[in-house]
Chain A
């Protein structure tokens, strides 16, 4: 089997050049689908029988929550690839996924709180899912904090990759135990079951938004990774050429 493509993937320069071609298309589709989904969901989908218009925040809340969970696995897989094959690019992706994932988790928590106020009458409820999301947010913050703490790039990469993997083992355990804790501490009855019984007129715009968010995630990840690559590779020749610096002049002076 030819593994050349895999090794090429490890080159930040190759990634940067390939994504330059892809970016305009991806941006166009992401914006188009997000626009269609949000207009459909916010303006054309019918109002909910019980919650009125306040339910419309699910078009933001649900995709953000999906992506914040999926994003952890993107980060963990990138970390594992980086640790196993010593691939520079994988660490850059891991770093980008951590920041974007933390932002999306935060968005899911905030939009959930805003939704909770009119629906449940309080900003914050110690529900199992909310608590797990909060813990997930902490895990993301831990990875970012560890990455920021080290001066040496290699050490920062390796340590945060190990932490990411330890977190991956723990996520199902944390999720299950919080779930179990919730059933023990039976609080006032909450109804959070609309998702399964959702009407198609609301489901289709929601699915559109989920697809849009996945594309948006990919776009954000690529953009962040590209910026991070430029930052980390700022001393290399190809980045200098990209920025229009006269390399020969620099070298002759050095």
Chain B
């Protein structure tokens, strides 16, 4: 029976998602040095704020919510460039494109893994930096909550930029240029929620909007990123 072909059944999308997530987490675990880079960047830039502006605690306290948010955003942005880079270089990205699982879930798994090694540690480190910048008492919980939800959107939107620039040798700066305008709404709501909480106002509205951003980004960003990856491979 030479013309009968046997195919292994393709693993389900969920199995592909989990496998992708495991692979990316394992890869980041094996490059432990790179894991710490966004955090060190975060810490260093925050150190420069009192040095450059003023060490006066009262002044720093008024600056802290916005400053921590801006630096977290930059740290997340700088780590975006590597999201698809090594897969593009070694050809795994092409395998991903021809795999039977939908590219949407593959991209989502990669972004989730990326968020778990950048956005999540940044969120956890934020209170420490809050202490360094004399963030007032009421600001810590809102800072963590908004960063937790907000960095997820940052990673998702950043993935679109990373996919659009993956085929370029020097895509890093360009990635920041094209993605930063899209980050503005998240920065506005994230930082204003923290300032509002410090002033004693309710923050559920801002949190809900940040959640809505994340929900829309989960639906739309991987589609755009998947399209951009196809263009990067096929031209």
A residues lining the B interface (CB < 8 Å): 135, 138-139, 141-143, 145-146, 149-150, 152, 154-155, 158-159, 162-163, 165-167, 169-170, 173-174, 176-178, 180-181, 184
Nearest A residue to B160 via CB reads A166
Contact between A152 and B235 (Cβ–Cβ < 8 Å)? yes
How far does the Cβ of A90 sit from chain B's closest Cβ, in whole Å? 15
**Residues of A close to B1: CB separation below 8 A:** none
Among the listed B174, B188, B196, B228, which residue makes an inter-chain contact with A177, where contact means beta carbons less than 8 Å apart? B188
- The count of residues in chain B whose C-beta lies closer than 8 Å to any C-beta of chain A is 27
Contact between A155 and B192 (Cβ–Cβ < 8 Å)? no
Q: Given A159-B164, A162-B228, check contact A135 B178 (CB 8 Å).
A: no
7 A-B pairs with CB atoms under 8 Å apart are A138-B180, A142-B181, A145-B178, A149-B171, A159-B228, A162-B231, A174-B182
Nearest B residue to A132 via CB reads B184
**Residues of A close to B231: CB separation below 8 A:** 155, 158-159, 162
B220 interfacial contact with A, CB 8 Å? yes
Among the listed B165, B179, B185, which residue makes an inter-chain contact with A173, where contact means beta carbons less than 8 Å apart? B185
Contact between B235 and A155 (Cβ–Cβ < 8 Å)? yes
Contact between A145 and B177 (Cβ–Cβ < 8 Å)? yes
Nearest B residue to A142 via CB reads B178
Among the listed B160, B182, B188, B224, which residue makes an inter-chain contact with A178, where contact means beta carbons less than 8 Å apart? B188
Contact between A181 and B188 (Cβ–Cβ < 8 Å)? yes
* Cα A18 to Cα B185 with chains together (Å): 43
Q: Given A154-B235, A184-B192, check contact A169 B220 (CB 8 Å).
A: yes
B residues lining the A interface (CB < 8 Å): 160, 164-165, 167-168, 171, 174, 177-182, 184-185, 188-189, 192, 196, 213, 220, 224, 227-228, 231-232, 235
How far does the Cβ of A127 sit from chain B's closest Cβ, in whole Å? 15
Q: Given A155-B235, A163-B164, A174-B185, check contact A142 B177 (CB 8 Å).
A: yes
**Residues of A close to B179: CB separation below 8 A:** 142
Among the listed A155, A158, A165, A170, which residue makes an inter-chain contact with B182, where contact means beta carbons less than 8 Å apart? A170
By CB atoms of chain B within 10 A, which of A142, A173, A180 has the most? Answer: A142
Contact between B182 and A177 (Cβ–Cβ < 8 Å)? no
**Residues of B close to A155: CB separation below 8 A:** 167, 231-232, 235
Contact between B220 and A138 (Cβ–Cβ < 8 Å)? no
* Cα A142 to Cα B171 with chains together (Å): 12
**Residues of A close to B220: CB separation below 8 A:** 169
**Residues of A close to B178: CB separation below 8 A:** 142-143, 145-146, 163
Contact between A166 and B232 (Cβ–Cβ < 8 Å)? no
**Residues of B close to A146: CB separation below 8 A:** 164-165, 174, 178
Among the listed A139, A149, A173, A178, which residue makes an inter-chain contact with B174, where contact means beta carbons less than 8 Å apart? A149
Q: Given A146-B174, A163-B164, check contact A180 B224 (CB 8 Å).
A: no
* Cα A145 to Cα B168 with chains together (Å): 12
Among the listed A149, A174, A177, which residue makes an inter-chain contact with B168, where contact means beta carbons less than 8 Å apart? A149
**Residues of A close to B171: CB separation below 8 A:** 149
Contact between A180 and B177 (Cβ–Cβ < 8 Å)? no
Beyond A139-B181, A159-B165, 5 additional contacts (C-beta under 8 Å) are A138-B181, A146-B178, A166-B182, A169-B220, A174-B185
**Residues of A close to B174: CB separation below 8 A:** 145-146, 149
Contact between A162 and B227 (Cβ–Cβ < 8 Å)? yes
Contact between A177 and B164 (Cβ–Cβ < 8 Å)? no
How far does the Cβ of B189 sit from chain A's closest Cβ, in whole Å? 7
How far does the Cβ of B79 sit from chain A's closest Cβ, in whole Å? 19
How far does the Cβ of B164 sit from chain A's closest Cβ, in whole Å? 5
Among the listed B168, B180, B185, B196, which residue makes an inter-chain contact with A150, where contact means beta carbons less than 8 Å apart? B168
**Residues of A close to B235: CB separation below 8 A:** 152, 154-155, 158
How far does the Cβ of A137 sit from chain B's closest Cβ, in whole Å? 9
By CB atoms of chain B within 10 A, which of A145, A154, A158 has the most? Answer: A158
Nearest B residue to A182 via CB reads B188
How far does the Cβ of B183 sit from chain A's closest Cβ, in whole Å? 10
Contact between B167 and A167 (Cβ–Cβ < 8 Å)? no
By CB atoms of chain A within 10 A, which of B180, B213, B220, B235 has the most? Answer: B235
**Residues of A close to B228: CB separation below 8 A:** 159, 162
Contact between B224 and A177 (Cβ–Cβ < 8 Å)? no
Nearest A residue to B181 via CB reads A138
Nearest A residue to B179 via CB reads A142
* Cα A154 to Cα B234 with chains together (Å): 10
